[in-house]
A and B are shown apart, each in its own frame.
Chain A
Amino acid sequence: ETGVTQSPTHLIKTRGQQVTLRCSSQSGHNTVSWYQQALGQGPQFIFQYYREEENGRGNFPPRFSGLQFPNYSSELNVNALELDDSALYLCASSLQGNEPQHFGDGTRLSIL
């Protein structure tokens, strides 16, 4: 069974740039959720994808967007990067919403 994988592991960007983060879900999992984890904080829900559609969103602006592909892998896109976007971005997959969510190792994004 293949676990959740994310790429890249680390990324450095400057303010105003755009970034794309990628996630491959665990085998058989059709639901992908994205979280932002600031240093010393718990993960904050960004949005969830189910069957290639956004299925719910947390308190994040529209410059945070995503995609899910037919193989259930997913992308998180962030436009017009701000300093406060510096964080660990985690992807989690599950069979459906209230089933156990399994996390990837995350992408550490630093904005200069």
Chain B
Amino acid sequence: GENVEQHPSTLSVQEGDSAVIKCTYSDSASNYFPWYKQELGKRPQLIIDIRSNVGEKKDQRIAVTLNKTAKHFSLHITETQPEDSAVYFCAAFSWAGGTSYGKLTFGQGTILTVHP
């Protein structure tokens, strides 16, 4: 089955710096890669996603890049703010062959702390 590795597990930056979180996946058939932000005690919130036919996607200060050959994808946050502090999860979607069933496999999460 799919396996997603996420690094680093913790990331501390100064306000205004950039932050980069990296994930690798194992199933070359995975075709959809969302990123979620989870604040303490709250639901995971979808912040950006990318499909396998696209190499990069940007939404204001957030961007995601995908390298299908190397099977890795990254989240880039520019001009970080204290309110960006949270746990960030990457995930990969893969279909079970011959069925309409597919599932998301999540990374272990990155605790991002942005210091004012």
**Chain A residues packing against B (C-beta within 8 Å):** 4, 33, 40-45, 48, 50, 55-56, 58, 90, 96-98, 100-106
Contacts and interface: CB of A to CB of B under 8 A. Distances in A.
Given A55-B100, A101-B34, A42 B46 contact: no
Given A56-B96, A103-B44, A42 B32 contact: no
B89 A98 contact: no
A41 B103 contact: no
**Interface of A: prevailing SS:** loop
Interface string B89-111: 10101011001111111111100
B105 A45 contact: yes
A42 B100 contact: no
Contact of A56 (B6, B36, B103, B109): B103
Interface of B: 6, 31-32, 34, 36, 42-46, 49, 89, 91, 93, 95-96, 99-109
Contacts, number: 63
Given A90-B43, A97-B102, A105-B42, 6 more contacts: A33-B104, A56-B102, A97-B93, A97-B103, A100-B49, A102-B46
Contacts of B108: 41-42
A61 B93 CA distance: 22
B43 A97 contact: no
B46 A100 contact: yes
Contacts of A103: 36, 43-45
Given A98-B32, A100-B34, A48 B103 contact: yes
B43 A106 contact: yes
Contacts of A48: 101, 103
Nearest to A44: B106
